[in-house]
């Protein structure tokens, strides 16, 4: 039996022994009494009785172990104006620990204690990472909100998390514009029923915020003056963070991650999945606002003593398609992790990879891709031009770390383009039909995971155990419902093909069609609307709106163009630019079932070029017939 097969078998046959052994990577202030407590199933607890501090594991213990002078974090910005602001900063483990201790002290002085929430609304700056770690240091719970979200989305998160404090930066830097965060934050605080007393604001040169407004404090005054705070031990199942993700409704789900299982699973995955160890340079090109950023910009690499690269910029246009290769050369990157869309953007701008030839990328050993399916064409292109292993791997905000991957740190398995390779140890992956019965190898079905989920997966939804059970655990008894469909082949390789529900994935960003529909519905001319994800060669999917107008509303010529522009603006205002909503068709009616449910899945299939059967429950088949050419013509 190979190393992977043996580890996988053992993880399921003896989870207690497997994860106890894995837990030895972590420094515990109190050893857990056991690995798994199933007493309150389906609310499983990992490492009960254990106490630890995640920040101490990510920083202090490396300093104590003699690695204080090793580089912990390199920040590289392609966005700042280097004549005003340094575009590179780097921190050793000792420096990062000292900075984080001061930030932690500042948070504590502002009244943040164990269990209190801190909403972090910051772009890709080192202070965002410091704030996350500082929360962990004092047992507070961070909830980072991606900078591309609009005020309404931010408000929903503030209202649900009820933070003691908001930590923000004055702006984010996008290629075409400076995104001022203060007006978005102010609007969100107006919309939210909860308003924390203070906002700690990091001023950036490109656009300083107005700190005379009530409640604002200046990072540069408060943090340097703060007393450094020591790490506070927390219980294994105390919350580490809440990260909101899109469900099918407009209301985001607060995925709750607990401290002990998270630290063990992430540290274990760094070696087993990514083959990244102390001293290696690991670069995840994502954003701290997403789970990929939480797990593999911040916690994973630091927990194992690696060097993490924090990049503010894009794969192309900042300034060119050589940006990735410049960073590999400059910072001696061993492993890159990004989304396939970033590679497609580079391929589109530089199909022969001429930029690559300008840099010395010999340190690069592997490329990992996730966030959406790695299409075989992109896989082949990246493999050819880079000449290093290219690994698709599949996971979700909820799971926190990869469910399926080529576990190169354990054993490099044969690659099948289009497949995320095999289930990672700890994840008992099953493919089921609608009734919950397993489907034979090769047949597509719903991908589910047999409980218990391994350490590091979501513990529940913040403040809503019922919604957790209802959303994830109630579809098939004893299984976690991933929301994805796909198949396992005869060799046990997993192919993840797409969502079963109405969640869409735009440039690796997960969005709710419900939230976009709610934004469209605010337009006075809209009677009814539906949003579906349609294929896009660069972003994987983009949202597409089908709009039914109110009687008497005009929709021809200039009026239609004006309406479209207003709809685009409504989505940018309520959801954010990141939704990339640009396309809408005005249609006479939406196809529905007899019980009134809009047939989004059928429309999505047709727009994706598939032959979709007409559902037997359809209310009026002629509505779908009339729509079919419109959907097909998008292709």
Q: Please, which residue, 369 or 606, has the CB nearer to ligand COA?
A: 369
Among 198, 393, 476, 479, binds ligand AMP (CB under 6 A): 393
Q: Does 172 bind ligand COA (CB under 6 A)?
A: yes
- CA 567 to chain CA centroid, Å, is 26
Spatial separation of the C-alpha atoms in residues 210 and 344, rounded to whole Å: 39
Which partner from the list ligand COA, ligand AMP, none does 163 bind, CB cut-off 5 to 8 Å by kind?
Answer: none
- SS3 call for 169: strand
Choices 219-227, 281-289, 318-326, 359-367; region in contact with ligand COA by CB under 6 A: 281-289
Applying CB under 6 A, the site for ligand COA has a residue count of: 27
Q: Does 373 bind ligand AMP (CB under 6 A)?
A: yes
Identify which of 227, 320, 284, 316 has the alpha carbon closest to the alpha carbon of residue 402.
Answer: 284
Identify which of 146, 453, 498 has the alpha carbon closest to the alpha carbon of residue 293.
Answer: 146
Identify which of 121, 168, 169 has the alpha carbon closest to the alpha carbon of residue 144.
Answer: 121
Residue 165 dihedral angles phi and psi, to the nearest 5°: -150, 150
Cis upstream peptide for 319 (omega within 30°):
yes
Give the pair of three-digit tokens for residue 66. Answer: 């003699």
Identify which of 515, 505, 572, 513 has the alpha carbon closest to the alpha carbon of residue 541.
Answer: 505
Q: Does 344 bind ligand AMP (CB under 6 A)?
A: no
Among 292, 385, 413, 532, binds ligand COA (CB under 6 A): 292
- CA 587 to chain CA centroid, Å, is 34
**C-alpha separations of 412 from 272, 312, 407 in Å:** 10, 31, 6
Min dist CB 168 to ligand COA, Å, is: 13
Q: Does 286 bind ligand COA (CB under 6 A)?
A: yes
Min dist CB 578 to ligand COA, Å, is: 4
Q: Does 407 bind ligand COA (CB under 6 A)?
A: no
Cis upstream peptide for 42 (omega within 30°):
yes
Choices 247-255, 311-319, 548-556, 613-621; region in contact with ligand COA by CB under 6 A: 311-319
Among 7, 503, 507, 627, binds ligand COA (CB under 6 A): 507
Q: Does 508 bind ligand COA (CB under 6 A)?
A: yes
Q: Are 235 and 201 in contact (CB under 8 A)?
A: no
Identify which of 137, 104, 136 has the alpha carbon closest to the alpha carbon of residue 242.
Answer: 136
Q: Does 579 bind ligand AMP (CB under 6 A)?
A: no
Which partner from the list ligand COA, ligand AMP, none does 68 bind, CB cut-off 5 to 8 Å by kind?
Answer: none
Q: Are 139 and 231 in contact (CB under 8 A)?
A: no
Residues composing the chain? 635
Min dist CB 157 to ligand COA, Å, is: 15
**C-alpha separations of 590 from 494, 525, 561, 564, 618 in Å:** 35, 16, 21, 18, 11
Spatial separation of the C-alpha atoms in residues 372 and 542, rounded to whole Å: 13
Min dist CB 451 to ligand COA, Å, is: 27
Map 400-446 to HEC letters.
CCCCEECCCCCCCCCCCCCCCCEECCCCCEEEECCCCCECCCCCCEE
Q: Does 402 bind ligand AMP (CB under 6 A)?
A: no
Q: Please, which residue, 209 or 511, has the CB nearer to ligand AMP?
A: 511
Among 371, 402, 426, 445, binds ligand COA (CB under 6 A): 371
Spatial separation of the C-alpha atoms in residues 49 and 31, rounded to whole Å: 7
Q: Dihedral, CA atoms, 4, 10, 11, 16, nearest 10 degrees?
A: -150
Min dist CB 499 to ligand AMP, Å, is: 5
Choices 26-34, 69-77, 133-141, 390-398; region in contact with ligand AMP by CB under 6 A: 390-398
Among 397, 406, 471, 512, binds ligand AMP (CB under 6 A): 397
Q: Does 95 bind ligand AMP (CB under 6 A)?
A: no
Q: Does 372 bind ligand AMP (CB under 6 A)?
A: yes
Separate counts of helices (H) and strands (E) for the chain = 20, 32
For tokens 């929301």, what's the residue?
483
Cis upstream peptide for 452 (omega within 30°):
yes
Q: Does 313 bind ligand COA (CB under 6 A)?
A: no
Q: Does 392 bind ligand AMP (CB under 6 A)?
A: yes
Among 117, 198, 262, 314, binds ligand COA (CB under 6 A): 314
Residues within window 484-543 making contact with ligand AMP, judged by CB under 6 A: 484, 496, 499, 505, 510
Residues within window 546-585 making contact with ligand COA, judged by CB under 6 A: 577-578, 580
Identify which of 609, 598, 496, 490 has the alpha carbon closest to the alpha carbon of residue 547.
Answer: 598
Among 342, 382, 488, 599, binds ligand COA (CB under 6 A): 342
Residues within window 580-619 making contact with ligand COA, judged by CB under 6 A: 580
Per-residue contact string for residues 219-248; x = within reach of ligand AMP by CB under 6 A: --------------------------x---
Which partner from the list ligand COA, ligand AMP, none does 101 bind, CB cut-off 5 to 8 Å by kind?
Answer: none
Which partner from the list ligand COA, ligand AMP, none does 256 bind, CB cut-off 5 to 8 Å by kind?
Answer: none
Please report, as ranges, the residues that interact with ligand AMP according to CB under 6 A. Answer: 245, 291, 370-374, 392-394, 396-397, 420, 483-484, 496, 499, 505, 510
Please report, as ranges, the residues that interact with ligand COA according to CB under 6 A. Answer: 123, 147-148, 172, 174, 176, 179, 285-287, 290, 292, 314-316, 339, 341-342, 345, 371, 507-509, 538, 577-578, 580
């Amino acid at each position: 039996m190979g190393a992977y097969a043996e580890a996988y078998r053992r993880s399921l046959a003896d989870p207690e022994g497997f994860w106890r052994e894995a837990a030895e990577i972590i420094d515990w202030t109190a050893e857990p009494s056991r690995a798994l407590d199933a007493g309150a199933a389906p609310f499983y607890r990992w490492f009960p009785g254990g106490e630890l501090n995640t920040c101490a594991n990510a920083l202090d213990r490396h300093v104590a172990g003699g690695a204080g002078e090793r580089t912990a974090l390199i920040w590289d910005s392609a966005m700042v104006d280097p004549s005003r602001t340094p575009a590179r900063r780097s921190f050793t483990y000792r420096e990062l620990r000292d900075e984080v201790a001061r930030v932690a002290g500042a948070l504590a002085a502002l009244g943040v204690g164990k269990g209190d929430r801190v909403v972090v609304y910051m772009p890709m700056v080192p202070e965002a990472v410091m704030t996350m770690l500082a929360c962990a240091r004092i047992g507070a719970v961070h909830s980072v909100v991606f900078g591309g979200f609009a005020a309404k989305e931010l408000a929903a998160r503030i209202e649900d998390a009820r933070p003691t404090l908001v930590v923000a930066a004055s702006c984010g830097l996008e290629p075409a514009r400076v995104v001022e965060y203060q007006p978005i934050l102010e609007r969100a605080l107006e919309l939210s029923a909860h308003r924390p007393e203070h906002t700690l604001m990091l001023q950036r040169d490109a656009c300083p915020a107005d700190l005379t407004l009530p409640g604002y404090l200046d990072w540069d005054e408060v943090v340097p003056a703060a007393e450094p705070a020591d790490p506070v031990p927390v219980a294994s199942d105390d919350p580490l963070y809440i990260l909101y993700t899109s469900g099918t409704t407009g209301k985001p789900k607060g995925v709750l991650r607990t401290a002990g299982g998270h630290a063990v699973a992430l540290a274990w995955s760094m070696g087993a999945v990514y083959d990244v160890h102390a001293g290696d340079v690991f670069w995840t090109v994502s954003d701290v606002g997403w789970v990929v950023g939480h797990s593999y910009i911040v916690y994973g690499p630091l927990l194992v003593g690696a060097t993490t690269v924090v990049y503010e910029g894009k794969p192309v246009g900042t300034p060119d398609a050589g940006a990735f290769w410049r960073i590999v050369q400059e910072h001696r990157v061993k492993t890159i992790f990004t989304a396939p869309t970033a590679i497609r953007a580079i391929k589109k701008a530089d199909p022969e990879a001429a930029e690559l030839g300008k840099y010395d990328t010999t340190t690069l050993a592997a490329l990992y891709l996730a966030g959406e399916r790695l299409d075989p064409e992109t896989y082949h292109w990246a493999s050819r031009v880079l000449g290093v292993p290219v690994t698709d791997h599949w996971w979700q905000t909820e799971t926190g770390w990869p469910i399926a991957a080529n576990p190169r740190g354990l054993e490099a398995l044969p690659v099948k383009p289009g497949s995320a390779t095999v289930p990672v140890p700890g994840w008992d992956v099953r493919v089921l039909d609608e009734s919950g019965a397993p489907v034979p190898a090769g047949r597509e079905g719903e991908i589910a995971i047999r409980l218990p989920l391994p350490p590091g997966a979501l513990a529940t939804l913040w403040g809503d155990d019922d919604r957790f059970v209802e959303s994830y655990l109630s579809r098939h008894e004893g299984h976690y419902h991933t929301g994805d469909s796909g198949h396992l082949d005869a060799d046990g390789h997993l192919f993840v093909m797409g969502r079963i529900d109405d969640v869409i994935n735009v440039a690796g960003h997960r969005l709710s069609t419900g939230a976009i529909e709610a934004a469209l519905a605010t337009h006075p001319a809209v009677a009814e609307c539906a949003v579906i994800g349609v294929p896009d060669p660069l972003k994987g999917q983009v949202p597409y709106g089908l709009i039914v107008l109110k009687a008497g509303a005009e929709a021809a010529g200039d009026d239609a163009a004006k309406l479209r522009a207003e709809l685009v603006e409504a989505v940018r205002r309520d959801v954010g630019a990141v939704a990339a909503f640009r396309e809408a068709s005005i249609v006479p009616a939406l196809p529905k079932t007899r019980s009134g449910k809009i047939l989004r899945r059928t429309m999505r299939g047709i727009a994706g070029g598939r032959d979709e059967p007409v559902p037997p429950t359809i209310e009026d088949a002629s509505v779908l017939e009339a729509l079919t050419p419109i959907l097909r013509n998008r292709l």
